[in-house]
Amino acid sequence: MKHEEILAAGTSIWLDDLSRSKLTGSDRHSLPHRIAHDGVRGVTTNPSIFGAAITGADEYAADIASLSGKSVDEVVRTLTTDDVRAACDLFQDIYKSSKGVDGRVSIEVDPRLAHKTQETIDEGVALHALVNRPNVMIKVPATKAGLPAITALIGAGISVNVTLIFSLDRYSEVIDAFIAGITQAKAAGKDLSTIHSVASFFISRIDSAVDKELKALGNQDLLGKVAIANAHRAYALFLEKFDAPEWKALESSGALVQRPLWASTGVKDPAYPDTLYVDELLAPHTVNTMPQSTLNAALDHGVLKADAVTAHMDEAVKTLTALTQTGISLDAITDHLEADGVKKFEEAWISLLADVAKVMK
């Protein structure tokens, strides 16, 4: 599948990876090559990605040494925002040509703040100012405490990537929080056309969790189907919410929809096609943020499908109904995945801090 075909289907390719070596390298895995030849139109990061990038990487040693006397939190914040700022600069042309829709680079608030609303708002504002690039997106987790933070940041005119969305109910709340923020921004006289947002709906982790329970029941029929069905229903919700009169009034004032972003699209079960979560999720006004291996696979042997999402709306309802009939609670699974996602990002951040602290000694 060609990257031009993916974009023509309405899906923007963002790379779920960032490191100093990818920023400055010249091989096919470098970010400049990916932008020029593979159709990459944005980058997402998270604490795990930064941990993998910085820990043990020689290219950060000089910067760490130059920051002697700073706290480890300050050093890590400097390293991560420097990389994001450099990536923002690489995407400036795409940012301008797409009128701000793409060319985006996301950086996450400290995951230890996931359940603290005001602290998340304060950190989001600070990160936005520190990166100081119009194409940065601030990542905020879709926890209960994160919802009002999303509204506040959007209301302040800051573009937001809402992360760690697993359930349809929470996704609905995320859209409502975004619309409330746009409403605040309009009341404050902000230029709504400059405020962008994506809602990162996680995919493969759902199949991993659901498949485990299905196998325990001996149910083979639904294996590998639930995550995609859940995403298809999320897209239906997106279409419904952004066709409502409340939104249309804001849209007439220049507001732009919050695009669904498919995250966690690397296939974890080798029994499934490695392009499964790309092929089945092509749709207008969407983003697919892919790890490097998934992007390589999609461009090599991905299957372009017309109406990959909208043609399967009814089938998605039947799949989720069939899951309920097995006695498996998708709500319980998605609640656990949200809590576990926050925990894993927090652990990754703490581990990164500890590793950098060792280098600073």
Distance from C-alpha of 14 to C-alpha of 236, rounded to nearest angstrom: 22
29 has pLDDT over 90:
no
Q: Mean pLDDT throughout 2-22?
A: 95
Q: How far is CA 198 from the centre of its chain?
A: 7
Q: Stretch 149-161: mean pLDDT, rounded?
A: 98
* Spatial separation of the C-alpha atoms in residues 77 and 248, rounded to whole Å: 39
With pLDDT > 70 as the criterion, what percentage of the chain qualifies? 100
Mean local confidence (pLDDT), 291-309: 94
Burial 251-263 (b: 16+ CB within 10 A, else e): eeeebbbbbbbbb
Classified as helix, coil or strand, 116 is coil
- Alpha helix (H) ranges present in the chain? 3-8, 20-24, 31-37, 47-54, 61-66, 72-90, 92-97, 117-131, 146-155, 168-187, 204-217, 226-241, 245-251, 276-279, 292-301, 313-325, 330-360
What the chain holds in terms of domains, given with CATH numbers, is 3-355 (3.20.20.70)
Is 80 exceeded by the pLDDT of residue 94? yes
pLDDT confidence band for 361 (50 / 70 / 90): confident
- Residue 184 pLDDT exceeds 90: yes
- Provide the residue type at 162 as one letter: V
pLDDT of amino acid 25: 81
What are the catalytic residues?
139
The length of the chain, given as a count of residues: 361
> What number is the average pLDDT over the span 214-225?
97
pLDDT classification of 359: cutoffs 50, 70, 90: confident
Residues 6+ apart with CB under 8 A from 179: 241, 246, 247, 250
Alpha-carbon Rg for the chain in angstroms: 20
CA distance 321 to 280: 20
What does the pLDDT average to over 77-82? Answer: 95
